[in-house]
Structure formats: structure tokens, C-alpha cells
Chains A and B, each alone.
Chain A
Amino acid sequence: MAGHNPWPNEGNTGHIWDEDIRELDNPPPLWWMLAFYAGFVMIVFYAIYYPTIPLANGFTKGVAGWTAVKEYQESYNELKAWRKAKFADKEEALASKPLSEIMKDEDLKLYAVATSKMLFGDNCAACHGAGGMGNPNFPVLADDDWLWGGHINQIYASIANGRVGNMPARGLMGNLTDDEIEKVADYVMALSEGKGNDPSVAAGKAIFAKGMCVACHGPTGKPVAPNGAANLTDKIWRFAPVNDGSCTLMNEQTQRDAVVRTIKYGVNVKKNGHLIDCTRRAVMPSWKPRLGEKDVKRLAIYVHELGGGQ
């Protein structure tokens, strides 16, 4: 590409590459030029019809009143209406049928699960984790351990009305000493390993009865009926050691520390209307007022299907 031009009369622009590839200056075809000028004419119409000219305090709105957001909204409403019409019978069935009947209808059940994914992600996953995988000290929903029962109606009740965990500090009488707490903690640890009758934890077992732990956790460490109290005989811990700053009085290192803290400070223990230091927080809000009955039903089915329910 330089001054030397072997084709001086051909009308090229003088841009020559690789010896012989050159740029010519041929006029475009007439039809093309006409379309080009027609394009200019169209600009005027567009400028009048659509928002176009920027002004000091905004822009011309155009005679059509068109905006991108409006167009989007219209398309979205169209889609929503289409969906509503398409699944109207299923939604109707979800709203009117009792849960026990819905659970028998495989098709409806799958529909409920499919339409709950977003609801769960928006409202539940913040605490219970994606897919119900749990978070530290928020219950896992995908396992087989249910504090308030894993039946579909129990799950519905938990979501609809919420649940508040409740465990007194230092036993039901509030009179367990630090030494007694250490002993009962040993007993609870042994229970989880299936060694509740071991002579080495006999002292703890006695305190378990004395402290009236049996009232909620059951005589064997397993609640007689679901009441929010943890099953102490299984391998799942409701509260794991987590130093999240909610406790200034002790430092949890092991699972045993966590058990000690729970017994010492209880769950949701209040004094003068305020939660005491180190007490466990365990509150599930009530969702029925927020989501309505139909969506709660839907979510109950979803949660039931996560872990297989009971």
C-alpha cells in the first residue's frame, strides 16, 4: 500500500494490498441508493413517531407513546395470561382439593413441585439452603429427621403457621448446676452413639430424668410424638457448634460444647422481653398470611418431596 499504482486508470482508491488486491470506487446500484435515500426520509417519520430527540430536561416522547419497558410489560402480561389459561385447571385443583388427595394425583403433585422451585428459592432457601440442603443451625429439609413431623399435613402446618422453638435454660426447673449439665451432656452424646445405657453415663441419665428433659425429649431421648424437640438418639444434631457472635459467654469448639450451650441457655429463652445471651434462636415465620393457602400447599408438597417425607 503505497504511492505506486499499477492501475492508474481503473478508478481504484489507491489502496492496494498483496500486490493486486485493491479497493475500487464503484458506485452502488441505483436501487441501493434509492433505498438509502428512502432511509433518510424514514428517519423523519421515526423521529416523530418514537422517542428520539434528547432535550435539556428529557427527550421528545413521540406520538405513539412507545417505550421499551411498556412493550416488555405488554409481552410479559401476554405470557402471564397464556400461562394462567393453560394451567387454570391445575391451579384450581391445587386450591380446592385437600392435600391428601393432591398427593395421590401424581400429575398434580409433579405440577406442584415444578411450580414451587422459584417460591422455595425466593422464600425458603435463604435459611434452609438450595434444595433444602440446610445451613448451620437451620434444619436440613432433605433428610428424614422432622422436628415437627414429616407428614404432609404436619409440613403444611409448619409452613402455614410457623414454628417457634422452645427449650428452657438449665432444665425444665431451671435448676441444673454446671456440673450436672456436663454430666447430662455426656449422656446426650452417648445417646447419639447408641450407648445411652452405658454405666459411665448413668449419672447423666439420672439428671436427664431429674431435669425433666424427658417431658419433651421422651424417656429414651426420642420424642414420643413430634413436638419440636430434637430426637437425641439419632445422628443429626439440631445445633452444631457455630461461633456466629450470638454467644459471648462461651466458645463452642466441639459438638459437645454445642450441646452444653443449648442445655445451659435453652432455645428462645427471654428475660424482660429480650432474648438472653447465648440462647439459641429457632424461629420459623408463618407464611400463610404472606403467600396464601395455595402457595403454602404447593410448598408443603415440594418440601415433602425433597427428602421423601414420612
Chain B
Amino acid sequence: MIWPAPLDMAFMRHAFAAGTCISIAGSVVGYFVVLRRQAFAAHALSNVGFAGAAGASLVGFDPMLGLFVFVLAAALLMAVAGEDIGHRDISVGMILMFSLGLGVLFVNLYSANANAAIGILFGSVLGISTGQLELTAGVSLLVVLLLAAMFRPLRFASLNPAAARASGVPVSLISTLFLLILAATAAISVPVIGALLSFAIFVGPAAAAQAWTGRLGTGIALTIVLALVETWGGLWFSYYVNVPATSCIASLSFMFYAASWLPAGRSWVLRRRNQPVGV
């Protein structure tokens, strides 16, 4: 098979495939992350993954196993700590602080492999194994299917939680499930994009899409397109210019977000739809 130039090596094909998976799953999750004002939880869960991976390496387990155990446990802790938006950032921050403390300890004890820690914090998109790619694709598919299965109650609970609860939507269960789905997505994203750069996937494209359109379906589709452009563009650019791919992806993510706030861009897209109206 003849591949185009950036795809002629297996590691680049793996990078594109894994990037595509986390772009799609991360976009759908990220859309609701931004809608539900849980960006801090997304950031924290990704960083909790760092401690999990470091801990698993220390005791000789697969880092991915440690990643999943830590992020899912942290998501459950966040769910128990509560949904009250006024206090939620404090509990999330405390969980983040505690797990980063553990991460520092694990890296310190396992000093033989400090490079692995850097790889988790900033991602190693060009070093994705076949097994890791399979795991990424499988979890991405599962995440998208789960979100489709809980789409209606999740949408209602995100837009009007009090009315949703009154109409019988199990709002706390939906919140917990969503945090677990977010955690699983963070776990597969961390080795690819890096714990510290998860905003590029979870927040940047969704925030830009929500500024551009007030429709949910269009917004999710636009988020996926932006995330794919960002990931593919970043990988392609880094191949030719020889700069780290994650830097390019993060820069593109920021550019989309910044563009969504340009007054000219906003009025160009929204002029027809979005004028203030009278009583």
C-alpha cells in the first residue's frame, strides 16, 4: 500500500489514528464539559492520570492500568463531593492537589524513568503502540456509544437541572456517569496529547463551537470538525517543520478559541441569528 508522505511510517499512521479517535470522543465529551462548566474537572482528571501512570510503573504494572484506576477513582470522588457549582471547584482542586502530590512521590521513588513522566505530562503522540491504539479506539467507541445512550437525560440535566430532576431524570446518576465517561476519555487522551494539554481536546474546540452556534447538533458536529482539523493539522505541520506535534495541536486549539472571540468573526457568523430583540 502506498501512503502519502506523512503516513509512510507506522508511527505516523498510529499517531493519526489515535488522534482521530480522541478527537471524536473528546469532542463529544468536551462539548458537554463546556456546557456543564466542568472544564476544571476535565483538566484535573487528566492530571490525576499522571499520578496513576507513575504509580503503576513504580509497582511494575502497565501504566495504562494505573491511569484508568486513578482517573475513575478520582471521578467517583468528585461525584461524591457533589454537584453544587459553588463548591465544586474546591473539591476538584483538592483531589487534583492530592494526586499530584502522590505523582511527585511516585516519580521520586522511580527515578530511573523520569522521561516516562515527561511523556505522560506532555504526551507522546509519535510513540503509540498497536496495543495502545486498539485500546484508544475501543474506549473512544464505547464513550461515544454511552453518550448516545444517555443523550436526552444528559442534555436536559445540563440545560435545566431543576426541571430535569422534577421530571424524573436521575440527575445525580447522570452526573456521576458523565464524570466516569470523562475520566475514561481523559485516560486514553493523556498518553496521546499529554495530561497538561488536555484542554486542547476537551475545551478548545467545544468552546469555539459554542460561541459560533447555539444549536446542539450543529455544535457537536462543529466541535468534531475543529478537533480533527487541529489534530491532523498539528501532526501534518510537525512532520514537515519538525516541531513537537502537541505544540502545534495546542496552538491550533488556542487559535480556534481566540478566533471565536473576534468581534468580526462573531458578527459575521451570528449577524442574522443573534441580534438582540425587543420585548
- Is chain B a partner of chain A in the same complex? no
Give residues in B with beta carbon < 8 Å to A.
Answer: none
Task: Spell out A's residues near B (CB within 8 Å).
Answer: none
